[in-house]
Structure 1
Amino acid sequence: MTWLILAGAVLAEVTATLSLRASEGLRKKAWIAPIAAGYALAFGLLAVALAAGVPVGIAYGIWAACGVALTAVGARVFFKEALTRRMGVGIVLIAVGVLIIELGVVSH
């Protein structure tokens, strides 16, 4: 269940970040509520996951890595922003780094 909570935190953060992009620098006021709600929910769910025992290094690593990857893909889909091969390699490297950290915690 804690992993679902963490996934919810990631999705809330990505939604808020993409909403921030859609707001065009907060010039489109209709996006302010989804931005604020998304970030509040993201941090709230992250706090719940941490309180449930997910190690902070793992929780934050997964939250940040998935957030970067999903935001890049979302920006490509919704805003036609670049998603180059080099960026894809960066996303893979981030995922590998998080996996290495998780394996270090599990084996310790």
Structure 2
Amino acid sequence: MLAYLLLALAIAAEVTGTVSLKLSDGFSKLVPSLVVLAGYGTAFVALALVLKMGLPVGVVYAIWAAIGVAAVALIGALFLGEHLNPTMIGGLLLVIGGVVLLELGSAQ
């Protein structure tokens, strides 16, 4: 259970870092630039701890990446004025479905 909480922290930190990367305006704004560094640093440390706890790297990375991609796309559409069309939504659903299948397959 702790491993999945750390994975959630890694995902939240990576999403925060990625959104802040957009807000940093090419690292020209100090505060968002610092948030990028803190977010990615926290994400990788938490991810390393999750892997050390024994969860399979393929499953962990798939969950981390898929939820991160979906979250950043939604945040971009909701708060940053970025466009999200039906094809893109379908792609996000396919990515999430692939992660679910990986998780199910690793349980067998």
TM range (shorter): over 0.9
Unaligned segments of structure 2, at least 5 residues: none
CA distance in 2, matches of 1:89, 1:50: 30
Q: Counterpart in 2 of 1:67?
A: 68
Size of the aligned set, in residue pairs, is: 107
Deviation at 1:42, TM superposition (A): 0.3
Deviation at 1:46, TM superposition (A): 0.4
Q: Which moved more, 1:98-107 or 1:38-47?
A: 98-107
Q: Counterpart in 2 of 1:76?
A: 77
The ranges of structure 1 where at least 4 consecutive aligned residues each deviate by more than 2 angstroms after the TM superposition are: none
Deviation at 1:29, TM superposition (A): 2.2
Q: Which moved more, 1:64-73 or 1:83-92?
A: 83-92
SS at match of 1:27: coil
Q: Which moved more, 1:60-69 or 1:50-59?
A: 50-59
User: TM-score, with normalisation over the residues of structure 2?
Assistant: 0.94
Query: Alpha-carbon deviations, 1:20-60, whole Å to 9, x = none?
Result: 00111112122111000000000000011111111101100
Deviation at 1:90, TM superposition (A): 0.6
Q: Counterpart in 2 of 1:25?
A: 26
CA distance in 1, matches of 2:35, 2:64: 19
